[in-house]
Structure 1
């Protein structure tokens, strides 16, 4: 029997059940954050991050072990400082989620305020890949800026987002709703489950664009061990396989949060579409991608998602 593909959850009256009240509390906090002026959102986000650092012991432990693997040359005090900065960055990502859910783009995508807080580098690389009409896989690794990356890409082109369905149906609904995009053209596009390979291939074969998040721990069928920061970890070779099946261009994309005298703003960098990709060697392709991720992480190390158990460590 064919495996049933999970589609994004729809809102259900059952979500009002008390077992979901904790999630509703989080939704309420995001709504309140959404009401605050832009820069004040991030002040609250920093406080939330510092609070998470104190309370999330297990995640703090995972993050510190990951940081020690990635930056063994740093002194213990420097590693701990990076750990604290990472949790602040995590807290600021909640402010960004509030922006995604309740930002100006929801009312006016074409002239949204959020267009003024981002600058692009290498956007012509994306446009060149789109012009080839063979589909574009926009690789966006797991940085704490992940949610706003999708919004900023939507200002340049229509695309489909790929996401991992959540086991909790209410959380799945919220994630899918947050990653659904209503473009200036009026077209609303819901995210695609990462298990729905058929739909992913269909979008790319038609020349569409799709964001893809390939960098987290992967222990399912087809997993391969590939070094990241010099230490092997279970990795997903799906990027190579999708590119081989569709002939799509692969454009690595990285978003960096910048804080200066003018406040918080962002820089989205599109690298040139990868040449000779796939090469026919999934290991070498994945290693090549890992080197690109490493370079991006070193530019803003506190903004990578260190709380994920990337190396499948025993805790």
Structure 2
């Protein structure tokens, strides 16, 4: 679920000129400059910013380290720190990749491969819930997918309404519909209309919206809302994953589409949660440090278990 504000009309509001948005206005020229920089400069800027981000974003650093420690317990402290810095780099370069997707999409020409498109093309007269993860590719993943098939996206609103509007306008060229995570009616409607909707059920929203199920061997609060959405819309579920391979000289983007999940949802929500977590975990293991380990995936703990994260 991506982030932005519930500005469904996408219209400019005069309130965006208020002083509270002036900082965002000030940053806009710099963002557009970053968007048109050559790739090798974007890459080097991301590399340059890793150590300062690692030093000053202490809370995110600690969350990332703890996530990697518990999910990859075979790693040494040195390997964990390197992996954590890789996550930070992928987050930073992911920002540039999103800018490229919005403002310089031709950059991706001849840099994209897809596997499994036939699974989407085989679905007739039904909506498709694309089960995916919060990858650091962000909107670049959505854009490269849109080169092969139309898709909508589910997002979480931002607090800054002006920034939200900017993101909304930037994403319009990628997604036909941008659906708030709180607007389940629109989500069901899109699926009933036979749309493919990108949905990432991999964050911890507590047990009011999910059940406990293992994720990398650790019990985690796992969303189950998509089961009801699929039942209401008669949609099918198809796993979707995108990732980057290569280096500064030759980055290449891969889209992996897996077969339709048969007999899903079942009558057992815990079994379904385990099944989805296994799928997402297998996806993440392809490029583990391109996942957003900066989130508190294990915030909710089973009764009697201590917190994984520092207070």
Query: Shorter-chain-normalised TM-score: which range?
Result: 0.7 to 0.9
Q: Which residue of 1 aligns with 2:304?
A: none
How far apart are residue 71 of structure 1 and its match? 0.6
Unmatched tracts of structure 2, length 5 or more: 300-308
Q: Does the 8 Å contact 1:143/1:304 carry over to 2?
A: yes
User: Secondary structure of the equivalent of 1:172?
Assistant: helix
Report how many aligned residue pairs link the two structures: 297
From 261, 271, 282, the equivalent of 1:284 is 271
Moved more, 18-27 or 201-210: 18-27
CA RMSD of aligned residues (A): 2.1
Aligned ranges 1:95-244 → 2 under 5 Å: 95-104=96-105, 112-129=106-123, 132-181=124-173, 189-219=176-206, 221-244=208-231
Counterpart in the other structure of 2:306: none
Alignment-derived partner of residue 185 in structure 1: none
* Structure 2 CA distance for aligned equivalents of residues 74 and 13 of structure 1: 52
Alpha-carbon distance in 1 for matches of 2:214, 2:171: 30
Q: Does 1:27 align with 2:28?
A: yes
Do the aligned partners of 2:211 and 2:273 also contact (CA within 8 Å) in 1? no
Contact 1:166-1:172 at 8 Å conserved across structures: yes
Compared CA separation, residues 307 and 276, structure 1 to 2 (3 A): same
- Where do 5+ consecutive residues of structure 1 fail to align? 105-111, 183-187
> Where does structure 1 differ by over 4 angstroms across 4 or more consecutive aligned residues?
none
TM-score (norm 1): 0.87
SS, match of residue 73 in structure 2 = coil
CA distance change for structure 1 residues 162 and 81 in 2, over 3 Å: closer, same or farther? same
Q: Provide the secondary structure at the position in 1 that maps to 2:167.
A: helix
The answer as to whether partners of 1:6 and 1:193 remain within 8 angstroms in 2 is yes
TM-score (ref. length: structure 2): 0.88
Classify the secondary structure of the residue corresponding to 1:214.
Answer: coil
| CA distance 1:16–1:97, change in 2 (3 Å) | farther
